[in-house]
Chain A
Amino acid sequence: MTTLRLDTINKFYGALHILRDIDLDIREGEFISLLGPSGCGKTTTLRCIAGFETVTKGRLLFGSRDMTHAMPEHRDLGMVFQSYALFPHMTVAENLSFGLEVRKVSPVDRTRRIAAVLEMVKLTGYEKRYPRELSGGQQQRVALARALVIEPSVLLLDEPLANLDASLRDDMRFFIRDLQQRVGITTIYVTHDQSEAMVMSDRIVVMNHGVIEQCGPPRDIYEHPASQMVAGFIGQSNTLAGRILGREKDVYVIDTPEGQLKSLGRDGLKGEVRVMIRPENIETAAAENTLSGRVVKSTYLGGGCLVAVETPGGCRFTTNMPADSALAAGDAVTLGFAARKAWAFAA
């Protein structure tokens, strides 16, 4: 268990700048997700931490130890791969024993620790099976057990749930999070699935084009995105371009094509901004901010309806309505939302 510090990490492939000034402080026992679209640099960041990619510039600290140029085998970490990467020629017990043998753990202790970790991942009795005799979910748990049995200081997970089917994936999210909290291990989790990151993480690091767009707790990322990319990548959102006119206490007054709107935002915003409203925060009644328009489309989702509304100015908003909403395409509608539910960020 240790803290982890990425100090202005840069990575080049030839002339390609893959990672730019990645700065990250990870607390002891924290669960951090690296989230972003494919090619954003999240896996490269993870591989730099693991030692499978060299860092071109910057420093990597495990606690107070500089690990920037250490070999992967000297970093004392456990890693779970997307493909699980179990040793196909070894039984489950031998897979788990591999890291313990390297560490010269006595056979008695090995047996004890393997039994303990197998119980933790609910695979007691599977010691003699080969990986090919296990289901995807079971292989996944063996991979997790193999990484945890060596009691590493950091656990790295590279899209471990990507190859599982949807229902199993939901179970495994809670399973991994629960396990991580019980063991209390510092964990870095790479994913492109925003709901996965949302459910599991203490903090989410949203990456795009090799830079960190935003880093914060899930609630902060969802409600207070720092940029259009974050707002668009996490959940559904409506955004509107505008310009700041002034500020009344903590509420910005913003001039938009749809009239003046009031919105929260970080201190120090000025000039061109974008205002974001989540669909679930829009009502069909006048409020602090009011828009009018016509329903373009209503989609029944089971738990509710997703209604798309177009304003006379040509802006399109989506809003969540109850499932019994009678709104149909062509209906005129008034939309309202509270200033505290709107969020402005620099355009």
Chain B
Amino acid sequence: MSALAAPVPMAVAAPRRRLPVWWMILPALILLGCFLLLPYASILVMSFREASTNAVYGPGLTLGHYGEIVTDGFVWGIVWRTLRTGLIVTVATLLLGYPVAYHLARSRSRWASLLYICVISPLLVGLVVRTFAWLIILSNSGLANTALKWAGLIGRPIIFLNSSLGVTIALIHVFLPFVILPLLGNLQAINPEVAMAARSLGASRARTFFKVTLPLSMPGIQAGAILVFVLSISAYVTPAMLGGSQGRTMAVLVVQYLVDNFRWPAGAALAIFMAAITVSIIFVYLKLTARAMRRLP
């Protein structure tokens, strides 16, 4: 029997123990634990510490900072302004972004990819640079006011800066991609024949949109809206640079507590307070939108 004719042993893989799947998320879990949960925990602990004049916080524990916050009308005013700005930015980005996402999802034009680049362009420029550009455009003698005055629409310049107006405008610009991208993915996944079927059954474009396309795009709307809302109420650079004292938001106030006033425990309490408000709003929002989407696959 020649060596060549010898039966080649089949490469049978030894039965190996399968690794549990959670192993794969372990690195991400460690990262989250070190850089998200631990800092949050330390802020939470700090928020119950007493204030101190010669250290970051004193040794004693107190609920006083929270008491101060919830009874302070000034804080509630800023909470209200922050949430109002977040809401306006969310609604505005949805209204502006939906048609763009819809067009991108359905377009067969070669210009579509150019439009796509335009959509994500706000993300390609550094936050500070972009906000600085808005500072120039929105100042009293800036591009916006000059143009409006030239067109004869206004007599006196509109006060964009040092107010919520400028912050809102700049945030809408920055966060537009965050509503377009989830919507785009969602709309692309909707079979275009479904809308055609509605038309063939006699529904007008408008009826087709409101009865078929819009309900089917709710997951995209939900994802985009929550992203923009959370990002805009926690935005810091834009309100800090454009808002001044009249456009101040919660995030700016927290930093003011910590850096300007050196009130670390009170600032920590304010941050926790803000996070609690955000989480409860998201909770209610998810409950409400889940009802609206319960019929979707």
Contacts and interface: CB of A to CB of B under 8 A. Distances in A.
A79 interface: yes
A186 to B, nearest CB: 15
Nearest to A72: B199
A90 B295 contact: yes
A89 interface: yes
B284 to A, nearest CB: 23
Contacts of A83: 191, 193
Contacts of A89: 215-216, 295-297
Given A89-B295, A132-B297, A103 B202 contact: yes
A50 B212 contact: no
A80 B216 CA distance: 20
Given A85-B191, A87-B194, A72 B296 contact: no
Contacts of B198: 87, 98
A73 B206 CA distance: 12
Contacts of A130: 295, 297
A88 interface: yes
Contacts of B216: 88-89
B204 interface: yes
Size class of the contact patch on chain A:
20 to 34
A217 to B, nearest CB: 28
Given A88-B297, A89-B216, A89-B296, A72 B207 contact: no
B297 A102 contact: no
Interface residues of B, number: 20
Residue among A75, A89, A132, A146 with the highest chain B CB neighbour number at 10 A: A89
A75 B296 CA distance: 30
A346 to B, nearest CB: 39
A52 interface: yes
B191 A102 contact: no
A134 to B, nearest CB: 12
Contacts of B197: 79, 81, 85-87, 143, 146
Contacts of A226: none
A58 to B, nearest CB: 21
Nearest to A82: B193
B201 A98 contact: yes
B297 A73 contact: no
A301 to B, nearest CB: 37
A146 B201 contact: yes
Contact of A98 (B191, B196, B203, B204): B203
A77 interface: yes
Interface in A62-92: 71-79, 81-83, 85-90
A83 B216 CA distance: 16
Contacts of A77: 200
B103 interface: no
Nearest to A94: B295
Interface string B172-204: 000000000000000000010110111111111
Contact of A85 (B196, B202, B215): B196
B211 interface: yes
A156 B200 CA distance: 10
A72 B200 contact: yes
A137 interface: no
Contact of A72 (B191, B196, B295): B196
Contact of B203 (A81, A102, A146, A156): A102
Contacts of B194: 85-88
B193 A85 contact: yes
Contacts of B191: 83, 85
Interface in A149-169: 150, 156
Contact of A102 (B193, B207, B215, B296): B207
11 contacts: A73-B200, A79-B200, A81-B196, A83-B193, A87-B198, A87-B212, A88-B296, A89-B216, A89-B297, A98-B198, A132-B297
Given A81-B196, A130-B297, A146-B197, 17 more contacts: A72-B196, A79-B196, A83-B193, A85-B197, A86-B194, A86-B197, A87-B194, A87-B197, A88-B297, A89-B215, A89-B295, A102-B201, A102-B207, A103-B202, A130-B295, A150-B201, A156-B200
